[in-house]
Amino acid sequence: MTTDTDTASVPSPAPSGFDNDNRQAATIGDSARDYVNRLRGGDMGSLPAILGLVFLFVVFASLNDRFLTTYNMANLVIQAGSIIVLAMGIVFVLLIGEIDLSAGVAGGASATIIALMLIDYDWTWWAATLAGVAVGAVIGLAIGSLVAFLGIPSFVVTLAFFLALQAVPLKLIGSGGSLRFNDEVLRGLSIKNVPVTAGWIAAILIVVGFAALSLWRYRSLSAKGLVHKPLGLVVIQIAVLAVIVLGITALLSANRAPNPDLFTIAGIPWVAPVVIALLLFWTYILTKTRFGRHLYAVGGNAEAARRAGINVRRVRIMAFVICSSMAAISGLLAASYTGKVSPGSGGGNELLYAVGAAVIGGTSLFGGRGRALDAVVGGLVIATIPNGLGLLNQASYINFLVTGGVLLLAASVDAISRRRRSSAGV
């Protein structure tokens, strides 16, 4: 509380009741002004990520004409999948003001278990996946308990897990070896596509569902005279979503094979529906459940949350469990993309990419701010960098330099906007 000084202006009292509660009947103009005010106050949301994405697309498209081909765009979606899912998990620990440095290797360890179950024990894909996610959950439970009960800084606990968990694949696979990952369904997540018709049906269902929910929400809020967005804004949001979803579907439904006469590659890669399902699920949890609300409360002011009767320890532990479980799914997607699990899986850049993705997307490193959607937007930005640079045949050191620079830039934006928020009090 740095802002509540005596100098803070006191709005002049209105004649009665909530007469000056004018947000109920906001117009599009009001909303636009509001948005600009929020931006100036430092509440940037996903705007830096979207601008960054546009910038990267313009640069890469002008440097290489293969970048904007639908073949490469589909590749980008597949490459972004595992980063996005890991970032979505990271969002949960960032929300409560903690960090998980071990998420990448937790994903690698879980992927190793999945591969072993598939190969050595002949488990079906879903049983093996469940086993992998369970391994992730147990790792998260251990980290969360150490942080919540012993009060060790999460930075240290997860650093220890980052080191220790690398032993798991190394022991199970053996150094230098690797496990093939060619299960029909799990490998298919990356190399197969949703049938074109089914893709269109799903896309239309998403748009119609979003439109119906938004309009229903608008009606029920405005009927009761509660704070709501203006109808114009609701319509614009629906239109934007429709353009994005249907546009991407159209793009990916075209035949994108390098030799279109010889064979056909068309449809949305299976990774995309997985990411979208996770996005919808976690968005619901974060915005519509008590647990989600408590996550934000713990990140905003843990003491206030405790006094409000929230079990802060349980919320903390759950955040780590969710993060590591998502890391397991991310490890699975990464293995599905490369077709193998090796001892080094998840020990490289994965974690930093994911943290970068979450922060670029608008999730704060300081806790209390973030959405599942941030991971998707930020993950696309992060995935675009190696994708575009790869097409340019640049030496890999440039890739490291650029990604590090982008992460630093995102963290700076976060820190500066936080300062502005606390001085503007938005």
Partner 1 sequence: MPEPLLELRGVNKSFGVVHVLHDVDFAVYPGQVTALVGDNGAGKSTLVKIIAGIYGRDTGDYIFEGKKVEVHGPRDVAALGIEIVYQDLALCDNLDIVENMFLGREETSRFGLDEVTMETRARETLASLSVRTVKSVRQSVASLSGGQRQTVAIAKAVLWNSKVVLLDEPTAALGVAQTRQVLDLVRRLADRGLGVVLISHNMGDVLEVADRITALYLGRVAADVPAKDVTHSQIVELITAGRSGDLGIAENPMTADV
Interacting residues toward partner 1 by CB under 8 A = 1, 3-11, 13-14, 16-23, 220-221, 224, 226-227, 284, 287-290, 293-294, 296-297, 299-301, 303-305, 307-310, 368-369, 421-422, 425-426
Smallest gap from residue 226 Cβ to partner 1 (A): 5
In the complex, the smallest distance separating the C-beta of residue 153 from partner 1, rounded to whole angstroms, is 22
Residue number, 41 or 390, with CB nearest to partner 1: 41
Q: Partners of 193 in the beta sheet?
A: 269
* Shortest separation between residue 223's beta carbon and partner 1, angstroms: 9
Nearer to partner 1, 39 or 248 (CB): 39
In whole angstroms, the minimum distance from the beta carbon of 361 to partner 1 comes to 17
Instruction: Check residue 192 and report its DSSP letter.
Output: -
Q: Is 404 helix (H, G, I), strand (E, B) or coil?
A: helix
Give 312-372 as a DSSP string: HHHHHHHHHHHHHHHHHHHHHHHHHHHTEE-TTTTSSSHHHHHHHHHHHHT--TTSS---H
C-beta of 413: minimal distance to partner 1 in Å?
A: 18
Measured from the CB atom, the residue of 4 and 184 that comes closer to partner 1 is: 4
Non-local (6+) Cβ contacts of 286 within 8 A are 292, 295, 296, 371, 372
Q: Smaller CB distance to partner 1: residue 2 or 393?
A: 2
Number of helices (H), then strands (E), in the chain = 17, 2
Quote the least distance from Cβ 322 to partner 1, whole Å. 17
Which of 215/426 has CB closer to partner 1? Answer: 426
- Angstrom distance (rounded) from CA 154 to CA 166: 18
**Which of 10, 395 has the CB closer to partner 1?**
10
Of 255 and 301, which CB lies nearer to partner 1 in the complex structure? 301
- Nearest distance in Å: CB 295, partner 1: 11
Burial of 371 (0-12, 13-18, 19+ CB in 10 A): buried
Which of 46, 345 has the CB closer to partner 1? Answer: 46
Nearest distance in Å: CB 92, partner 1: 15
- The two tokens of residue 329 are 């799914």
Give the burial string for 397-408 (b: 16+ CB within 10 Å, else e). Answer: eebeebbeebbe
**Strand locations in 123-221 (E):** 179-180
Using the minimum distance from each CB to partner 1, give the nearer residue, 17 or 151: 17
Q: Cβ of residue 36: shortest distance to partner 1, in angstroms?
A: 15
Q: What residue ranges in 130-170 does DSSP mark as E strands?
A: none
Q: How many CB atoms lie within 10 A of CB 1?
A: 6
With b for 16 or more beta-carbon neighbours within 10 A and e for fewer, the 139-153 pattern comes to bbbbbbbbbbeeeee
- Contact present, 289 and 111 (Cβ < 8 Å): no
Name the residue nearer to partner 1 (CB basis): 256 or 294: 294
Nearest distance in Å: CB 390, partner 1 = 38
Q: Are 52 and 388 in contact (CB under 8 A)?
A: no
- In the 3-class helix/strand/coil scheme, how is 299-321 assigned residue by residue? HHCHHHHHHCCCCHHHHHHHHHH
